[in-house]
């Protein structure tokens, strides 16, 4: 029996956040109490894929239905391989399993992008620069959007630039070092002059804009960066046909 205000509140929250889902009771009292302490009273419900599909197609709009239909395959896999770990609070193991799935998706994406580039007649480098880079950077995009919505602009920027530093110095440097050590030969990257110039130009534009605006980023600059990326995409595909720069 509750004996004080704290117990009454905990009991009330527990009853509010306990919900039957297809015959199974899903609770998250601790996380919800923590959310309430931060002023977030949104109910937290964790559903299995079937219950989530019923909920989406019954209550959500057409955009959410379309998106869920596309992602349903991975929802089932992730839920089957890692959902039970969350309830056991095996957070480190869950992180490693999800990281493994992410690596598998990146390898799978790269493999089929290479096949697609041969099919449509462009170089694997151009395909990787546009679609491959966009696909493997989606986790960065989601993380940046998540922290940006919370007002943590510094975290969003540092996450993006930190990931690029990691990609350049570790994800490129480590394979190159291992390959050169095993074979005794240098790694030769062909047709990289234009990409190097673009990378340097992006860094210069970002630094100049940040210094001039004193690290204030408005929607105008956001649209400007999107425009620059569109120009970059046009340049890459036009260069595939005209070959005016390596």
Q: What is the pLDDT of residue 159?
A: 79
Residues 127-153: tens digit of each pLDDT: 877 887 877 777 778 788 888 888 887
Q: What is the pLDDT of residue 125?
A: 75
How far, in Å, CA of 79 to CA of 49, rounded?
A: 7
Average pLDDT on 28-34 reads: 37
Choose among 209, 208, 235, 207: nearest CA to 220: 209
Confidence of residue 108 (pLDDT cuts 50, 70, 90): confident
242 shares a domain with 198: yes
How far, in Å, CA of 124 to CA of 132, rounded?
A: 9
54 vs 125 pLDDT, higher one: 54
Neighbours of 239 (CB within 10 A): 16
234 shares a domain with 197: yes
241 shares a domain with 205: yes
Measuring CA to CA, how many Å separate 83 from each of 75, 87, 124? 10, 7, 36
- Tell me, rounded to whole angstroms, the distance of Cα 168 from its chain centroid: 18
226 shares a domain with 176: no
Q: What is the pLDDT of residue 25?
A: 36
75 vs 242 pLDDT, higher one: 75
Q: What is the pLDDT of residue 177?
A: 92
Q: What is the pLDDT of residue 150?
A: 81
Lowest mean pLDDT among 84-88, 90-94, 236-240: 84-88
Q: What is the pLDDT of residue 16?
A: 44
18 shares a domain with 37: yes
Structural domain for 198, as ranges: 189-246
Q: Is residue 119 part of a domain?
A: no
240 shares a domain with 204: yes
Average pLDDT score over the chain: 75
pLDDT at 6 over 60: no
Q: Is residue 227 part of a domain?
A: yes
Task: Express as a percent the part of the chain with pLDDT over 90.
Answer: 4
Residues 183-213: tens digit of each pLDDT: 998 888 766 677 778 888 888 888 898 888 8
204 shares a domain with 179: no
Q: What is the pLDDT of residue 17?
A: 41
Confidence of residue 181 (pLDDT cuts 50, 70, 90): very high
Residue 178 backbone phi and psi in degrees, to 5 = -65, -45
How far, in Å, CA of 130 to CA of 127, rounded?
A: 5
Highest-confidence segment of 11-20, 66-75, 227-236: 227-236
Instruction: Quote the number of domains for the chain.
Output: 3
243 shares a domain with 193: yes
237 shares a domain with 194: yes
Q: Is residue 84 part of a domain?
A: no
Q: Is residue 132 part of a domain?
A: no
Q: Is residue 101 part of a domain?
A: no
Q: Is residue 33 part of a domain?
A: yes
Q: What is the pLDDT of residue 245?
A: 66
Q: Is residue 79 part of a domain?
A: no
Q: Is residue 106 part of a domain?
A: no
């Amino acid at each position: 029996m509750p004996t004080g205000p704290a117990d009454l509140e905990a009991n009330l929250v527990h009853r509010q956040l306990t919900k039957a889902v297809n015959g199974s009771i899903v609770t998250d009292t601790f996380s919800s109490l923590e959310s309430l302490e931060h002023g977030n009273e949104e109910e937290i419900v964790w559903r299995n894929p079937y219950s989530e599909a019923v909920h989406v197609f019954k209550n959500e709009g057409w955009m959410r239905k379309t998106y869920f239909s596309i992602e349903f395959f991975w929802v089932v896999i992730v839920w089957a391989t890692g959902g039970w770990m969350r309830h056991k609070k095996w957070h480190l193991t869950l992180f490693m399993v999800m990281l493994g799935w992410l690596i598998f998706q990146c390898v799978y994406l790269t493999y089929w992008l290479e096949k697609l580039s041969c099919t449509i007649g462009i170089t694997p480098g151009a395909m990787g620069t546009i679609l491959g880079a966009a696909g493997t950077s989606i986790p960065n995009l989601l993380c940046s959007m998540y922290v940006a919505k919370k007002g943590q602009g510094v975290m969003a920027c540092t996450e993006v630039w930190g990931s690029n530093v990691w990609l350049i110095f570790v994800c490129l440097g480590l394979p190159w070092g291992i390959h050169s050590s095993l074979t005794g030969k240098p790694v030769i990257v062909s047709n990289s002059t234009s990409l190097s110039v673009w990378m340097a130009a992006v860094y210069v534009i970002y630094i100049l804009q940040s210094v001039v605006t004193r690290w204030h980023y408005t929607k105008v600059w956001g649209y400007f960066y999107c425009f620059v990326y569109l120009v970059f995409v046009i340049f890459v595909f036009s260069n595939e046909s005209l070959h005016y720069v390596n």
